[in-house]
Amino acid sequence: MSRETESLLELLQDSDPVTQEKVRARLEELGWNAVYYGLQNLERVIPLPARRQVRRRLHDMSSVCAVNEVQTLLGEGDFFFVPEGLYSLTRVLLPEMSPAEFHDCYAAPAGDLVCELRDTMTAVEKVEMLNYIVFDRYGFKLSDDGWDGYETDVLIPEIMAGRRAGVVGITSVYFLLASYAGLPVYPVFPKEPGYYVAWFEGGRTLFSMDMGNKGRIAEPIPRRSWLDTDFMGTDRTILYLYATALRRFGRKPLTQLQASLLDRAVDSLRL
């Protein structure tokens, strides 16, 4: 990184609020790479007495940059690389997680899925393979979380590590792997609260998947029951579901900044 980034890291020790604001604004402008450099070099540059405070400031900047990244991604249109958006949302609550660490947490099942899929497979066969990878080969299990309206595990890296979560957590993993493999699997939001998981084709749902029963293929979701929005079957619906899950179920208590940033993300992704 540049000499400027090193100087900005040193200035994070400064107690002057005007200096702090200028440093914060510049680091957020430089983005994640500059903030990550600060986190990686914290112990080398910052004396022990100031490290905790500087680390906290870098965490806050990382979270702000993460939501900025989501908004930049949305500027690309309705379709983008979904894992990138899920990573950025995750970093609001795990501010030191690097893109490589996030990729590593899902690389094995995602890679296996891509290797098993064939162009000659039907949509049903592709979803059956997705279900096999998720629920059989990697053994993801549905916990009792969620039946009381609250889920404990919704952060994707933690679900990947434990392979157990409530319906919302499991479907976040399901959408991540499906999107990585290029499968048009999206949430469908009905007019009443809740959501379904479905395969989209030609602007309609070809069939749905029962996430309470290992993704068992079920009836399509009639369009007349959908929420009246043009965003169904687009990548932003996956990010919207994950952002709302983090806002509602994410590590408690969320800091004031984390809560406000997730609110901002949800507003940007609103359907």
pLDDT tens, the chain, 271 aa long: 578 999 999 999 998 999 999 999 999 999 999 999 999 999 999 999 999 999 999 999 999 999 999 999 999 988 999 999 999 999 999 999 999 999 999 999 999 999 999 999 999 999 999 999 999 999 999 987 655 566 888 999 999 999 999 999 999 999 999 999 999 999 999 988 889 999 999 889 999 999 999 999 999 999 899 988 889 999 999 999 999 999 998 777 899 999 999 999 999 999 8
Residues 72 and 155 in one domain: no
Residues 55 and 107 in one domain: no
Residue that has been written with the tokens 């979270």 in this structure: 63
In a domain, 154, yes or no: yes
pLDDT of residue 252: 74
Strand partners, 188: 196
In a domain, 84, yes or no: no
Residues 136 and 258 in one domain: yes
Strands 164-165 and 141-142, bridge-based pairing? parallel
In a domain, 181, yes or no: yes
Residues 229 and 121 in one domain: yes
The residue out of 76, 108, 135 marking a domain boundary is 76
In a domain, 82, yes or no: no
Cβ-contact 159, 134 below 8 angstroms: no
Residues 232 and 184 in one domain: yes
Residue that has been written with the tokens 């919302």 in this structure: 168
pLDDT of residue 153: 87
Residues 103 and 71 in one domain: no
Residues 129 and 71 in one domain: no
Q: Where does residue 206 rank: exposed (0-12), middle (13-18), buried (19+ CB within 10 A)?
A: middle
| DSSP conformational letter for 255 | P
**CA 185 – CA 182 distance, rounded (Å):** 9
pLDDT of residue 42: 95
Residues 223 and 157 in one domain: yes
Domain count for the chain, please give it: 2
226 three-class SS: strand
In a domain, 63, yes or no: yes
Task: Quickly count: other Cβ atoms within 10 Å of residue 131's Cβ.
Answer: 18
Domain residues for the domain of 23 are 3-76
In a domain, 228, yes or no: yes
In a domain, 90, yes or no: no
**CA 222 – CA 21 distance, rounded (Å):** 51
Task: Quickly count: other Cβ atoms within 10 Å of residue 38's Cβ.
Answer: 26
Task: Quickly count: other Cβ atoms within 10 Å of residue 174's Cβ.
Answer: 25
For residue 198, the Cα-to-chain-centroid distance in whole angstroms is: 19
Q: pLDDT tens-digit profile of 72-114?
A: 999 998 899 999 999 999 999 999 999 999 999 999 999 999 9
Residues 66 and 152 in one domain: no
Cβ-contact 92, 265 below 8 angstroms: yes
Residues 145 and 264 in one domain: yes
Lookup: tokens for 147: 């039946």
In a domain, 81, yes or no: no
Residues 212 and 124 in one domain: yes
Q: What angle do CA 174, 176, 179 make, to 5 degrees?
A: 105
Residues 47 and 108 in one domain: no
